[in-house]
Chain A
């Protein structure tokens, strides 16, 4: 079945550091890929998505590229801020049907000033 493997956390960085959170997936066919973020005390929010190979999703300075050859969708940001502290979830959905999301376990990011 479909699955997502995410880099283990927690991750602690200083402000303005470079961020990478690794995500790889196993799926039949060509899934859509997502990064969701959960800020403290808030619900899950979509951060970015990509629906086909070589697509790049981007939002709020974060980027991730759909790499079919390596089955990966790594999240990157060039310069993190304290306000980026949150839990980040990689997820996929299959084509058609219910499009239910399959999530990774999440990576907690803490950015210190």
Chain B
């Protein structure tokens, strides 16, 4: 597609529920990233995929968070047993040349998650 597409744009869920957030990266981009942005903060890295595999998941806060990218394109971020502290904007990004110096990463508009 023309840009990184994320759905849903907004999600309100009850504490303890399961949530899935979807990301469709720019066509042809092999690298895909998930970030989380809390109010008044900069985005924080969660996980990076190169193709189908998670090459770096050091930013996932705990085992309630999981992400997949089974065919090397679309990715889903899954959050189990949601907590109010999970409320944030979840940003997906993709890039074409991971590992290249100064590689440009392109961001989607984000999925705003509110846990009540």
Report A's interface with B, CB cutoff 8 A.
4, 6, 32, 36, 42-46, 49-51, 89, 91, 93, 95-106
In the complex the two chains form, is B104's CB within 8 Å of A98's CB?
no
Pick out which of these stretches binds chain A: B38-46, B67-75, B77-85.
Answer: B38-46
Q: Which residues of A contact B1 (CB under 8 A)?
A: none
Which of chain A's residues has its CB closest to B99's CB?
Answer: A96
Instruction: Decide yes or no: A44 and B44 within 8 Å by CB, A32-B102, A96-B99 being known contacts.
Output: no
In the complex the two chains form, is A103's CB within 8 Å of B56's CB?
no
In B46-100, the 8 Å CB interface with A consists of 48, 50, 55-56, 59, 91, 93, 95, 98-99
Least Cβ distance of B110 to chain A in Å?
A: 6
Which of chain B's residues has its CB closest to A30's CB?
Answer: B101
Instruction: Report which of A32, A43, A50, A97 forms a contact with B107, defined as CB distance below 8 A.
Output: A43
Point out which of B3, B40, B102, B103 has the most chain A C-beta atoms below 10 A from its C-beta. B102
Least Cβ distance of B45 to chain A in Å?
A: 4
Please classify the interface of chain B as helix (H, G, I), strand (E, B), loop, or mixed, using the class held by over half of its residues.
loop
Report B's interface with A, CB cutoff 8 A.
3-4, 31, 33, 35, 40-45, 48, 50, 55-56, 59, 91, 93, 95, 98-99, 101-110
3 shortest interchain CB distances as A-B pairs: A103-B42, A51-B102, A43-B109
